[in-house]
Structure 1
Amino acid sequence: MNKIYYKNFKKVELENNYVTGTCMEMCPEAELKMRERERLLHPFEMLVGTERDILPKADKTRTVKSFSRSAAGKLTPDPRSLRPPDILVKTVSYLLDDVISRTGVQWRVIYDFVMDRLRSVRQDMIIQNISRQHQINILQPIVKFLAFASYKLCEESIHDFDPHINDSHLQECLKRLLCMYDYCDEMEKSTDGDEHEYSDESRSYFEALYVVFNLGNTTAITRAVNLPNKWKNVLVKRTVEMSLARSNNNFVRLCRLIELLPPLLAALAYLHLPSLRKDCFKIMSNAYSSKNLFFPVAVLQKILLYNNEDEIVSDCNYYGIKVKENGVVFLKTDFDSKKPVVSLKRRSVVLDEKFSCLDISAVILSCQ
C-alpha cells in the first residue's frame, strides 16, 4: 500500500501542474472582507472592542482562513487565496499554541474552530503539493491535536463531538504522514552519498502512535515490524508488543504496557478499553464460570484500569454479569454477548492529573 502511495505521489510530482500560493497572511484579504461583510467572523477572530458592533471588525493577526469545499468546475485556484508553506506552518503554530491555550472557553468550542482551520491548512497543502518536509512539519502537530481531542472530548455528547469524524481525519492525516516518511526513505535509498539522508527524531513517536491508534490491526503491526532499524526504538517495540497482546487477548499484559506509555499515547490507548473490557468479560465468563466463585472487584479494577469500582459494577450490569459482596460472579449463561460495546467512554483520572500538569500546546508542538 505504501509503495502505491509513493508511486502516485511521484507521478503527480512529475506532472508539475500545481499552483504556488502568494497569500502572506493567515487569511486572504478577499475572504477576510467577505466574512466581515457577511458577519461570518468567529469570536476568536474579532477585533477587541468591536465584538458587539453590528459588523464586527476582523483582527488580521488572529483571523484564519476557513475551510470550504472546492467549487465545482473551478480547475485552477487563485494563488492569492493560497498560503505558501511557511505561512501554513505559522498558521498551525498559531492555532495549536495561542488558540488552544485560551482560558474561559469550553474546549469543544476551541476544537470546532481549530479543527475547521486545520482542514483549510491541509487543503492548501495538498493543492500546492508542497515539499515533503513541509508536509511532515505540518502534519505531525495536527496528528497530535486530533489524538488529544479524541481523548479530551470522549465524554462529550455526540451532538457536540463526533468521534468517528475525528478518527477519520486522524487516520487520514496519519496515513499521509507515513507516506511522507516512506517517500523520504525511498529517496535516501535511491541516492548515493548523504545529500538526501533523512533524519527526524520524532518519527518513531508517530510510528508508535499509528500502532496504538490501530491496536491489534495486522497491517499496523506489519508496518512497525518492517521499519528500518533506526526507527524501531523502545517505544515502537513496546506498542507492537501491546498490539500483539491485544490480538492474543492478553489483557493483563496490555494494560500494564499502557501505563508505561507517554501521556498522549496512553490517552489514545485508553479509548480501546471499552472493547477490550467486553472481550475480557466474555472470556472470564467462560473461564471462571461458577456460582460459588467470586472475582474481587478491586482486583478487576486494577487489571482493567477502571477509575473506581462503580464503573465496573455499571459495565457488569450492562452485560448481565452479577456483582455480589464486592465480587463478580462470572457465569457463561449470564454474559450477553449480543450487547454492543459500552458506548460510554470515560477519561482516566490518573491521565487527567498528568495532563493538568502539562502545557498541552507544548506537548502537541514538541518533537516528541
Structure 2
Amino acid sequence: MAAKSDIFHEGTFLQGLCMEMCPMRELNLRKKQNRLHPFEKTVENSSPKNKLNEAMNIAVKEFTRPAAGKELNPKDIRPAPVLLKTINYLLTVIMKKPSALYYKCEFISDRIRSVRQDLTAQNLQNSEAIKILEKATRYYLIMAVRLSQEPLERYDPVLHNTQLRECLKKLLRLYYIQNTPCKNWTTFLACDMILNLCTGSYYLFHEYHKTEVHATKHNGMNLAFDMIKMHAIGNFVGIFRIANTLPFLESCAFFNSIERLRSQGLRVMNTAFSSKNLRFPLQLLMEIFCFDSIEATAEFCTCHNILTQDGNVFFKRGQFMEPSQHKVYTCHKLIGSKTTQSDVDLMIDE
C-alpha cells in the first residue's frame, strides 16, 4: 500500500501517562460511588492495602462520553503498551471467567470502547494500535455470531454492529497510511467487502485493483471479490456457494448479511420456480442457503409466506412477503464448523 500523509498534526494530540488499566482517579471515584463491576471487585477478607493493589490489577477504565468543553487529562489516558495489555486482559482473563457470555461481553464491549477512545485521543497510528484494533475487530466479528441467539434485553446487535464498523474503518485507515502492507490487512479488507455486500457501499473496493498484485494469493480476498460479482448479477445461489468456502473470520463477516441475502434469494426463487406442479425439495433449499436444519429452513419459508409440506417447497408468484423482522438462525455449518480453535485464541491470534 502506498503511504499516505495523515490529516492530523501530531502536536495537537495528547500523550497518555496512565500506566494502569484504570486511572487511579477513576478507580477511587467508582469505589466511593460503589460502581465497580463484579469483575473488578477484590477479595473481601484482604487488607486495605492488598485490596488497593488487587483493584489496580483488575479494574479497567470504563467508557464515558466526552463532556463538551472539558479538556482531557493525560494522566487519565493510557499509552499504547497499556492499551495492548488491557485488551489482552479483556479477551483472555475476562473472557475465560465462568459467567454467562452475554454478561462478560457487556463488560468487555464497554471497556474495548474505552480502549479505542484512548487510541483516538492520542491519534496512535503505530503497530501497537493496529494490533489493538485487529483484536477488537475479531472480537466484534466473532461475538456477533456467538451472541446472535441472545434476547434483545441482553444483547443489542445494532450497537454491536455499529462498533464493529467503526473499529474496522479505523483499522483499514491505519493500514492505508502504512509504508508497507501489514500481515493481516487482506483478511480485514475482505471482511469489510463482505460486510458491505448488501449495502452496495464498497468504499474500499477500488483498493482491490490497486493492490491485487499483493492480494491475489489471499483466498478470502478473492472470494470476497467473487461474492461482490455474484451480488451484482443477482446470483444468490452463487453467493452462498462461495460463502461455504470462506475462511472463518470472513464467514463471521458474512453472518452480518446472511438473513437479508437469504430473503432476497428466496424472493428470486419464488419467482423463478413459480409453478402449480413444481415441488422444490426442502432439503435442497436448506443446502443452498446453508441452514443448519430442515426445521429452520421450513420456518424461514413460512415467515416469508411460502408454503412447505411433506419435505417440499411450493413456490407461487405473488405469495412472497417480507417479514417485518428477520429471525437470526444459528450457523454452525457455515461458520462454527470451520474452526477448532477457542474464541480466545481466535481473537488474540498471537
Report the counterpart of residue 33 of structure 2 in structure 1: 38
Q: Does 1:230 align with 2:214?
A: yes
1:244 to 220, 229, 232: 229
Aligned residue pairs: how many? 342
Structure 1 residue runs of 4 or more that deviate by more than 6 Å after TM superposition: none
Q: Do the aligned partners of 1:267 and 1:351 also contact (CA within 8 Å) in 2? A: no
By how many angstroms is 1:228 displaced? 5.0
Report how far residue 134 of structure 1 moved.
Answer: 2.6
Q: Secondary structure at the match of 1:26?
A: coil
- Structure 2 Cα separation of the partners of residues 180 and 141 of structure 1: 14
**CA shift for structure 1 position 48:** 2.5
1:192-207 correspondence runs (5 A): 198-207=180-189
Equivalent residue number for residue 69 of structure 1: 65
Q: Which amino acid aligns with 2:61?
A: K
* Offset, 1:234: 2.4
- Whether 2:122 is the aligned partner of 1:128: answer yes
Q: Residue 243 of structure 2 contacts residue 334 of structure 2 at CA under 8 Å; is this kept in 1?
A: no
In structure 1, how many angstroms separate the alpha carbons of the residues matched to 2:337 and 2:183?
24
Q: Is the 8 A contact 1:214 1:220 kept in 2?
A: no
Alpha-carbon deviation of 1:351?
5.4
**Structure 2 portions without partners, runs of 5+:** none
Report the residue type matching 2:280 in the other structure: F
Counterpart selection for 1:118 from 100, 105, 112: 112
Question: 1:50, CA displacement in angstroms?
Answer: 5.7
Instruction: Provide, for residues 213-235 of structure 1, a one-character-per-residue CA deviation record: whole Å limited to 9, x for no partner.
Output: 11253434333333352134222
The answer for the alignment partner of 1:286 in structure 2 is 271
Give the CA deviation at 1:59.
2.3
Check conservation: 2:251, 2:335, Cα contact below 8 A. no
Deviation at 1:267, TM superposition (A): 2.6
Match of 2:13, as an amino acid? Y
* Deviation readout 1:306-346 (Å, 9 max, x if unpaired): 11111122122122111122111101122125x44x52101
- Alpha-carbon contact 2:125-2:174 (below 8 Å) kept: no
Distance 2:271 2:45 in 1: 66
How far apart, CA to CA, are the structure 1 residues paired with 2:306 and 2:45?
Answer: 59
- The equivalent of 1:357 in structure 2 is 340
Give the letter for the 2:113 counterpart: R
- Cα distance, 1:137 vs. partner? 1.6
C-alpha displacement at 1:130, in angstroms?
2.0
Identity rate, percent = 26
In the TM superposition, 1:49-198 aligns within 5 A as: 49=44, 59-75=55-71, 77-103=72-98, 105-184=99-178, 188=179, 198=180
Aligned to 2:18: 23
CA distance in 2, matches of 1:69, 1:286: 49
**C-alpha displacement of 1:286:** 1.4
Structure 1 pair 351–291 and aligned structure 2 pair: CA distance change class (3 A): closer
State how far apart, in whole Å, the 2-side matches of 1:26 and 1:141 are: 17
Looking at structure 2, the residues matched to 131 and 219 of structure 1 have their Cα atoms a distance apart, in angstroms, of 21
Pair 1:346 & 2:329 matched: yes
What TM-score do you get using the length of structure 1 for normalisation?
A: 0.86
The equivalent of 2:193 in structure 1 is 211
Of the two structures, which has the highest relative contact order with CA contacts closer than 8 Å and spacing of 6 or more?
Answer: 2
Report the alpha carbon displacement of residue 268 of structure 1 after superposing the two structures with TM.
2.6
C-alpha displacement of 1:355: 7.3
Write the distance in 2 (CA, Å) between the matches of 1:199 and 1:226. Answer: 12
Contact 1:286/1:330 (<8 A) preserved: yes
Q: For residues 112 and 336 of structure 1, do their structure 2 counterparts lie closer, same or farther at Cα, with a shift above 3 Å needed?
A: same
CA offsets 1:235-266 (integer angstroms, 9 cap, x no match): 21111112221232222222122121222321
**Cα distance, 1:83 vs structure 2:** 0.9
Deviations 1:15-49 (A, max 9, x none): x1222111111111111111111111111111133
Residue 13 (structure 1) aligns with: 9
Q: Structure 1 pair 302/142, CA: closer, same or farther in 2 (3 Å)?
A: same
Change over 3 Å in CA distance of 1:352–1:178 after alignment to 2 = closer
> How many angstroms apart in 2 are the aligned matches of 1:359 and 1:98?
14
How many angstroms does 1:290 deviate by?
0.9
Contact 1:221 1:243 in 2 (8 A): no
Shift of 1:115: 0.7
Q: 1:353 to 1:139 in 2, by over 3 A?
A: closer
1:260-271 mapped onto 2 (5 Å cutoff)? 260-271=245-256
Letter in 2 for 1:89: L
CA RMSD of aligned residues (A): 2.4
1:302 counterpart = 2:287: yes
Structure 2 residue aligned with 1:193: none
Q: Which runs of 5+ in 1 are unaligned?
A: 189-197
Aligned partner of residue 364 in structure 1, secondary structure: helix
Look up the match of 1:191: none
Amino acid corresponding to residue 364 of structure 1 in structure 2: M
Q: Secondary structure at the match of 1:12?
A: coil
* Alpha-carbon contact 2:175-2:182 (below 8 Å) kept: no
The structure-2 alpha-carbon separation of the partners of 1:220 and 1:243, relative to structure 1 and needing over 3 Å to count, comes to farther
Alpha-carbon shift at residue 200 of structure 1 (Å):
2.0
Distance 1:355 1:288, change over 3 A: closer
One-letter amino acid of the structure 2 residue matched with residue 265 of structure 1? E
C-alpha spacing 1:20/1:274, structure 2 compared with 1 (3 Å): same
